[in-house]
Structure 1
Amino acid sequence: MLAHFITASCLCKGKYILTGNLTTAIFANDCRFVDPNNAVTGLAQYRQALALLFDPSESFLNLEDVSVVDGGIQAKYVAGGTLKLPWRPRIEPWSGSIQYTLTSDGLIGSQATFRRRSFMATKLKGIKVLDRSISGEDSRFCVVLGAQWGDEGKGKLVDILAQDVQLCARFNGGANAGHTLLVDGKKYAFHLLPCGMINQACKNLIGNGVVVHVPTLMRELQELKEFDPRALERVFISTRAHILFDSHQIIDGILEAEQGTNSIGTTKRGIGPCYSAKAIRNGLRFGDLLHFEEFERRLRELIAWSQKRFGDPRERDTPAQLQLRKALREYNTKYAFDPEEGKKGGVSNVEEEIARYRQFAELLRPQIVDSVTLIHEDISRGYKVLVEGANAALLDIDFGTYPFVTSSNTTVGSVCTGLGVPPKQIDTVIGVVKAYTTRVGHGPFPTELQNEAQTLDDHLETYIGPAQSMARKGHSSGPYELKPDQQVRVGEMLQEVGHEYGTTTGRRRRCGWLDLALVKYSAMVNGFDSINLTKLDVLTGLRQIRIAIAYRNKQMTEVRLPPGYFPSHLEDLKEVVCEYETMQGWSEDISKVTDFADLPTNAKKYVLRIQELLGIPVSWVGVGPDRSSMLKVDIPIVRPDGSISASPNFPSSPMRGSPRI
């Protein structure tokens, strides 16, 4: 009888999953409603959600089958329709089933909806609906990636999103990347630990694609002791992750010095040599620590191999190289890192190194896990997963400005290979874009205004913001002063106001205008669902702000290069000239603003112009160092013809190409 009432009245006639017209006669008030994307408890909340979704006059539902099963009722259906949105997206017909579970009172206590595939929207003027999933808040598997040359401020968004996830993971790189987080007035600098460490209810995974210098990891955990004495228990390390040894760092320094003026500007943290050891298969992994006798034998072999290849002095060695080679021959890493004081860590010989790793093995044994099993078990439990990238798209070893790149893949494909998850598992990819462009080290930089040594001519602009004075790191000219109506060197201002010094290296970053031609390329590679624009406050006070919107070639400036095209060869990149668009700046201090609507008009225009030019919605805007300084944005892209778009202008991957409504 109940089965007949549900199917005949509620499903066929009432079409309640399209209309929200539910009756308390058969549904318990605290009924649990679950579908592939959402879970809601309470009849009123579910009614409200459904009532806002479909237009009943343009939607249909046909019942295919109904049966009584153990503990409840199962109904199979086919449905389709039109969403209540201004551009009237049509949802292709989908088939599914509903499983009803009954309470002891004979009411429906839970409803689970299953679909054979996600809803597919067609005939849209704007393809993707702005919702909380593209901002990462409701995403089941969200990836946050740098979209430029690194240092975009990824850590702040990851920190915000990590407050509501159960697992935070890293998939690439090593201690050559750095996040600085300001939480409750205290700074935390992470080079290896995922940002989920700040959420004491969150597990943290260092995936198989990461290379880990264990002493650095232990120092970071020690610094968290006051915040969370049991922090170590929330860190899990893949058995397949490679161990980065002090010898790798010494070799990195030797190789960088050999390059001379052609050096790539490595951080000398041993990342490249460790990935090289992985590629030539003489590296050691965390799983080896669980078999220590074998670990000790192979470590001795690795050190001996390193000493044979790099330990002997060469005819053209610099004093620094000779020092490093001597340290490697003796395996005195204290001497390598700090020859005068020996206080920067390291060991005096191979035996000390083995003893140190014996202690690490005992301490870390419970935390070394099969990461593929761990992450898939957490996904199957319904845990929300947040993945943070190290470095950024233009430092990717394949897609970056090679050879001035890092030693790992930093783009979205590496999420799958660095964690052991399939592409279809990824719900949301957020690209973090600084409101201007920076990079560290060498290599062409199309929009560059000022270099590390501050020796470029720079672009002059009138300053219209509030007076400021700030200390300059390692600068002989005293504090940096800004006064209204003065002419400022824009690149230098970005460096000083933006505190553009590397978390890992301490080097001053090269600065330039925002390069959207570069970001379009990054978006093509990564398939960003939305953009997090950071450090907008640093632009405060510039009378005019320029945006590079396209590339042209010096030899043929009348022709734009294709949207999203980025030269693969440095000589071709040197031939690029930028086409700029100029926007009016703002004078008001925005660092205390907590709502996007309260930003100055010109600041909002700058943000919205960026999303219009990219064809990708901006979901977050950073205006200061605190968590509260990250503003949520949910303004759709309006095309010149008045239609609304919220989707990238670039092809998406097949599994993520159509929106899930």
Structure 2
Amino acid sequence: MVDVILGLQWGDEGKGKIVDYFAPGYDIIARFQGGPNAGHTLYVNDKKVVLHQIPSGIFHQNTMNLIGNGVVLDPVTLKRECETVAAFGIDVKKNLFISERTNIIVPTHRALDKASEHSKGEGKIGSTLKGIGPAYMDKTGRNALRAGDLLDKNFVSQYIKLRLKHQKLLDTYNFNDDISSWEDEFFEAIEFLRTLNIVNGEYFINNKISEGKKVLAEGAQGTMLDIDFGTFPFVTSSNTISAGVCTGLGIAPQKINQVLGVTKAYCTRVGSGPFPTELEDATGEELRKIGSEFGATTGRPRRCGWIDLVALKYTCMINGVTQVVMTKADVLDSFKTLNVCTSYNVNGNETEEVPFQMTRVKLEANYKQFAGWDMDTTAIKNVADLPSNMSSYIDFINSYIGAPVKYVSNGPGRDQIVAL
């Protein structure tokens, strides 16, 4: 049996905490897509930890963690994370597993990402410059190196062949940065990776399922960044949706049970691209300040706005969401009034559908206004104690998106979550 936790907005919904909250009920936590552009924030012993590659169940001693074949893996980032995790007394060599089909990010992927983004000028998509896009391009171009290749005696020659291919592309960008230090780090990290559990991921996960083990598949980024269904071209390079679980882990669709979608009580976005409910005013700045809205991976200020129910209903539909987790509800505690986007005006016509290409149309958000609850909710433990205005806000969202909000997170702590 496989349950899924994924993002319903543009990423940064707080999935790391939610996976960590549910992890004790599962035997295996598995990442199925994305790369080090993900930033899942956890608080362990009151210390903030941001995971970019390792699944968020790593701090649970008896939970296995699998990096699936749908992920692109940066060995340098992984090595650093393993060192951070080990400082908390966790033995990563015991409970971290990597699918041998997982694609590897090499230093020239990062160089290509940087060169390509800089060449776009004002048309840049807001890449995190981690090498994600070029790594996925090599996957679809059938040039990629994979984790299983690390164990091949010809790995270095395979690497050199790929590097030379990348160099020809870099020459077209006139990219002359010295990346020798990146390569030194890379090969040091490769030696470390060889000491970890590199396994046949699809057999590993399916055998565990056959044994009755419970699996939680962990998504990165968010549905509105999906390569197919997101706000293209301002998207990531992988399928962030529930369908990506099957291709990213090697499991059949009928193995998927619950799909838990995570949304903030408002909206944020990092980088370029359309954002219908963005607030470029004092209210947006207040959301950013109260919510500490700065990217966990990049540190960039997040763009902030009201919750977009048109987009949220769309992402619930695409993913087959069975339960919704609303995070950062406490960020709205001090607002007197709240706005909720219930439709768009697209080229003068009202619609409740997400258009094919937001950047090619004149789009305005239409809002319904709600009274805020104007009280501190961070200490609330039980649903009966939630302010009535918060309950009304949630009830309206439930009725609109057709998927029930079952949990509300009211603070960063592990225990700050209310089951509805």
Deviations 1:591-617 (A, max 9, x none): 111112112111121112211221211
Q: Which residue of 2 aligns with 1:363?
A: 195
Query: 1:501 and 2:278 equivalent?
Result: no
Pair 1:257–1:378, CA change in 2 (3 A): same
What is the root-mean-square deviation of aligned Cα atoms in Å?
1.5
Percentage identity across paired residues of the two chains = 43
SS of 2:237's equivalent?
Answer: coil
Structure 2 Cα separation of the partners of residues 618 and 581 of structure 1: 19
Q: Tell me the amino acid that sits aligned with residue 566 of structure 1.
A: V
Q: Which residue of 2 aligns with 1:188?
A: 49
Deviations 1:444-467 (A, max 9, x none): 2111102xxxxxxx2xxxxxxxxx
Query: 1:386 and 2:216 equivalent?
Result: yes
Pair 1:582–1:242, CA change in 2 (3 A): same
The answer to which of 265-274 and 611-620 deviates more is 611-620
Shift of 1:232: 2.5
- Report if aligned partners of 1:251, 1:270 keep a CA contact under 8 Å in 2: yes
Gaps of 5+ in 2: none
Structure 2 Cα separation of the partners of residues 220 and 326 of structure 1: 26
Q: Which residue of 2 aligns with 1:374?
A: 204
Deviations 1:287-330 (A, max 9, x none): 11121x2211110111111112214664xxxxxxx5xx232xxx
Q: Tell me the amino acid that sits aligned with residue 157 of structure 1.
A: I
Query: 1:411 and 2:241 equivalent?
Result: yes
Structure 2 Cα separation of the partners of residues 388 and 375 of structure 1: 14
SS of 1:620's equivalent?
Answer: strand
Q: Which residue of 1 aligns with 2:16?
A: 155
Select the structure of larger CA radius of gyration. Answer: 1
Structure 2 Cα separation of the partners of residues 570 and 608 of structure 1: 28
Q: Which residue of 2 aligns with 1:433?
A: 263
Pair 1:258–1:513, CA change in 2 (3 A): same
Match of 1:298 among 158, 179, 183: 158
Match of 1:549 among 342, 350, 363: 342
Structure 2 Cα separation of the partners of residues 287 and 578 of structure 1: 48
Paired residues for 1:331-480 under 5 Å: 331-332=179-180, 334=181, 346-347=182-183, 354=187, 356=188, 359-360=191-192, 362-364=194-196, 367-450=197-280, 458=281
Deviations 1:220-278 (A, max 9, x none): 11011132341222111001000111211111101100001100000000000101111
Structure 2 Cα separation of the partners of residues 353 and 148 of structure 1: 33
- Report if aligned partners of 2:61, 2:90 keep a CA contact under 8 Å in 1: no
Q: Which residue of 1 aligns with 2:104?
A: 243
Q: Tell me the amino acid that sits aligned with residue 202 of structure 1.
A: T
Q: Tell me the amino acid that sits aligned with residue 371 of structure 1.
A: G
Pair 1:185–1:198, CA change in 2 (3 A): same
Structure 2 Cα separation of the partners of residues 179 and 397 of structure 1: 20
Q: Which residue of 2 aligns with 1:217?
A: 78
Shift of 1:357: 5.7
Q: Tell me the amino acid that sits aligned with residue 356 of structure 2.
A: S
Q: Tell me the amino acid that sits aligned with residue 304 of structure 1.
A: L
- Report if aligned partners of 2:310, 2:342 keep a CA contact under 8 Å in 1: yes
Shift of 1:215: 1.2
Q: Which residue of 2 aligns with 1:86?
A: none
Query: 1:518 and 2:323 equivalent?
Result: no
SS of 2:29's equivalent?
Answer: strand
Structure 2 Cα separation of the partners of residues 358 and 406 of structure 1: 25
Q: Which residue of 2 aligns with 1:566?
A: 354
Q: Which residue of 2 aligns with 1:146?
A: 7
Structure 2 Cα separation of the partners of residues 529 and 608 of structure 1: 16
Structure 1 Cα separation of the partners of residues 348 and 4 of structure 2: 39
Structure 2 Cα separation of the partners of residues 278 and 503 of structure 1: 26
Structure 1 Cα separation of the partners of residues 300 and 40 of structure 2: 15
Query: 1:202 and 2:32 equivalent?
Result: no
Q: Which residue of 2 aligns with 1:600?
A: 387
SS of 1:519's equivalent?
Answer: helix
**Structure with a larger share of its residues in strand:** 1
Structure 2 Cα separation of the partners of residues 433 and 376 of structure 1: 29
Q: How many residues align?
A: 420
Paired residues for 1:504-653 under 5 Å: 504-556=297-349, 560-561=350-351, 563=352, 565-572=353-360, 574-633=361-420
Shift of 1:359: 1.9
- Report if aligned partners of 1:311, 1:326 keep a CA contact under 8 Å in 2: no
Q: Tell me the amino acid that sits aligned with residue 97 of structure 2.
A: F
Structure 2 Cα separation of the partners of residues 357 and 288 of structure 1: 14
Structure 1 Cα separation of the partners of residues 397 and 172 of structure 2: 54
- Report if aligned partners of 2:339, 2:367 keep a CA contact under 8 Å in 1: yes
**Structure with a larger share of its residues in helix:** 2
Runs of 4+ in 1 over 6 A off after TM superposition: none
SS of 1:505's equivalent?
Answer: coil
Gaps of 5+ in 1: 1-139, 315-321, 335-345, 451-457, 459-488, 634-661
- Report if aligned partners of 1:183, 1:626 keep a CA contact under 8 Å in 2: no
Structure 1 Cα separation of the partners of residues 2 and 199 of structure 2: 21
SS of 1:157's equivalent?
Answer: helix
Q: Which residue of 2 aligns with 1:164?
A: 25
Pair 1:227–1:272, CA change in 2 (3 A): same
Structure 2 Cα separation of the partners of residues 402 and 239 of structure 1: 30
User: TM-score, normalised on structure 1?
Assistant: 0.62
SS of 2:254's equivalent?
Answer: helix
- Report if aligned partners of 1:237, 1:286 keep a CA contact under 8 Å in 2: yes
Structure 1 Cα separation of the partners of residues 93 and 389 of structure 2: 46
